[in-house]
Chains A and B, each alone.
Chain A
């Protein structure tokens, strides 16, 4: 099996997949790309599934010539291809893991993405010329993803939406605080821990009040951070500052 992973800074989806790769023990060629410069649409190998991935700017894993996207599914792929143990085998526990990951993907990631991009991507995009920005966006095949890039550059986020996103982070931390079972979210260490950490680690600085009365969550964040796989993933950061690296993520539910 030949694997190449095009990954961004180890934050969000790229962190999930890099850490899952190190957990799996599989060998892969690692290619660092700058997601905030749109390099997923110029440098990474692509196919329809990569272009249309609704996760937005996540990593691309090429397995035996087939480019694949979507961090949780890439983590599942790496786990299954290596015979790993990042997913429960009991069907009900497995359902719980999948439901937890969906909660992070559908509710937490869009909120974290809005807040992270507002703080860190908008200033970067406003600093580049219109021409450079149009070249970047022009390479994006998905019209709705391109529209999200334009919104991030305009940086005009309604205050109600910003507050709603903060509220979603607070609720996620509350839920986590009630759910952590021993060391990890679901008892055993799973992809749910990686995916949750990947989206929430950057929120400690952006929504600090969410974590004040959450001692179990803070201890869990430190435990995930200390894992070998996560440390190895973080060591792949070209800038050494991955929590400030954001790029457009999944869209906020169109139904409200």
Chain B
């Protein structure tokens, strides 16, 4: 398949970083379209022509438009040559899928609720209120409108934030346990589960220094460092445009001990 690949993405982080890193691991050249999430680029008419749902990332391959970061990664693994990012064994494949769903739907939303309450919300809150309301009104999906409203006006309840923090603690314990059993998260082969997990957790030693560190979670730390040392990861994290990407430097060996 030699048709052109275009990826619409934000920073190498969370959902945008997943297909970026998967494509780099596969050795697929893609045209990069950077959308500034904090400037609501993803809800502007030009992009809505490509993905009417206004979510990022999206990938265009030939005449096909693909959305949803994990599903895009699976598509990329199936559609392109290059090293396989899904194991061959059916049970290993089950484990890769289990972990991706767990991270996408249970652990990830907890990280993002905290991230949105302390970073995304404050980053945009200072703008003109009318402009912000208009920006919210342009969001196509009602559930994304709710999420943005909560982030912008800091409407997360104590209870919700406490539950997210609880889940982050449980998730870190589970990651450490899984990584002590196998070479990589879901199998003995580097897979989409690791690509997914790195995007979720690369900044853990910074954001959760008491829970994720060399003493308490040595397997998580080694796993993150090994992924950070891969050429594909170096390449993709060099594509970041905001200070956010610098957080990955915590994974340089010797920085945290």
- Chain A interface residues (CB < 8 Å from chain B): 48-49, 52-54, 63-64, 66, 68-70, 73-74, 76-77, 80-81, 91-92, 94-95, 98-99, 102, 105-106, 143-144, 253-256
Contact for B109 among A48, A53, A255, CB less than 8 A:
A255
Contact for A255 among B101, B113, B178, CB less than 8 A:
B113
Contact for A95 among B71, B101, B167, CB less than 8 A:
B71
Contacts of A102 in B (CB 8 A): 68, 71
CB within 8 Å of A: which of B68-127?
Answer: 68, 71-72, 74-75, 78-79, 90-91, 93-95, 97-98, 101-102, 105-106, 109, 113
Q: Mark B137-162, 1 if CB is under 8 A from A, else 0.
A: 00000010011001000000000100
Q: Is the interface of A mostly helix, strand, loop or mixed?
A: helix
The 16 sampled A-B contact pairs (Cβ below 8 Å) are A52-B106, A54-B101, A63-B91, A68-B98, A70-B97, A73-B94, A73-B101, A77-B93, A80-B93, A81-B90, A92-B79, A99-B67, A143-B170, A254-B109, A255-B113, A256-B147
Which residue of chain B has its CB nearest to the CB of A256?
Answer: B146
Which residue of chain A has its CB nearest to the CB of B1?
Answer: A91
Please report the C-alpha to C-alpha distance between residue A70 and residue B147 in the assembled complex, in whole angstroms: 27
User: How many residues in B have their beta carbons less than 8 Å from beta carbons of A?
Assistant: 35
**B105 lies within 8 A of A54 (CB):** yes
CB within 8 Å of A: which of B45-72?
Answer: 64, 66-68, 71-72
User: Is B188 an interface residue, CB under 8 A from the partner?
Assistant: no
**A143 lies within 8 A of B98 (CB):** no
**A48 lies within 8 A of B94 (CB):** no
Please report the C-alpha to C-alpha distance between residue A70 and residue B104 in the assembled complex, in whole angstroms: 14
**A68 lies within 8 A of B105 (CB):** no
B177 CB to closest chain A CB, in angstroms?
7
Please report the C-alpha to C-alpha distance between residue A68 and residue B90 in the assembled complex, in whole angstroms: 12
User: Is B182 an interface residue, CB under 8 A from the partner?
Assistant: no
Contacts of A254 in B (CB 8 A): 109, 113, 160, 163
Contacts of A80 in B (CB 8 A): 90, 93
**B93 lies within 8 A of A94 (CB):** no
**B75 lies within 8 A of A77 (CB):** no
**A68 lies within 8 A of B146 (CB):** no
**B78 lies within 8 A of A94 (CB):** yes
Contacts beyond the supplied A48-B178, A94-B75: 12 A-B pairs with Cβ under 8 Å = A52-B170, A70-B98, A70-B101, A74-B94, A92-B64, A94-B74, A143-B166, A143-B170, A254-B163, A255-B113, A256-B143, A256-B150
Which residue of chain B has its CB nearest to the CB of A97?
Answer: B71
User: Is B239 an interface residue, CB under 8 A from the partner?
Assistant: no
Known contacts A66-B91, A73-B101: A92-B147 contact under CB 8 Å? no
**A95 lies within 8 A of B98 (CB):** no
B139 CB to closest chain A CB, in angstroms?
12
Known contacts A48-B174, A99-B68, A255-B143: A73-B105 contact under CB 8 Å? no
Which residue of chain A has its CB nearest to the CB of B160?
Answer: A254
Contact for B94 among A54, A68, A95, A144, CB less than 8 A:
A68
Contacts of A99 in B (CB 8 A): 67-68, 71
Contacts of B177 in A (CB 8 A): 48
CB within 8 Å of A: which of B164-215?
Answer: 166-167, 170, 174, 177-178
Please report the C-alpha to C-alpha distance between residue A31 and residue B1 in the assembled complex, in whole angstroms: 46
Please report the C-alpha to C-alpha distance between residue A53 and residue B174 in the assembled complex, in whole angstroms: 12
Find the residue from B105, B143, B163 having the highest chain A CB count within 10 A.
B105
**A255 lies within 8 A of B166 (CB):** no
Please report the C-alpha to C-alpha distance between residue A49 and residue B174 in the assembled complex, in whole angstroms: 9
B151 CB to closest chain A CB, in angstroms?
10
**B147 lies within 8 A of A73 (CB):** no
**B97 lies within 8 A of A73 (CB):** yes
A179 CB to closest chain B CB, in angstroms?
16
Contacts of A54 in B (CB 8 A): 101-102, 105-106
Find the residue from B74, B90, B147 having the highest chain A CB count within 10 A.
B90
**A98 lies within 8 A of B98 (CB):** no
**B74 lies within 8 A of A76 (CB):** no
**A49 lies within 8 A of B68 (CB):** no
B121 CB to closest chain A CB, in angstroms?
13
A113 CB to closest chain B CB, in angstroms?
14
Contacts of B78 in A (CB 8 A): 91, 94-95
Contact for B66 among A48, A74, A81, A95, CB less than 8 A:
A95
Please report the C-alpha to C-alpha distance between residue A152 and residue B91 in the assembled complex, in whole angstroms: 33
Which residue of chain B has its CB nearest to the CB of A88?
Answer: B78
**B109 lies within 8 A of A76 (CB):** no
Contact for B75 among A52, A76, A92, A143, CB less than 8 A:
A92
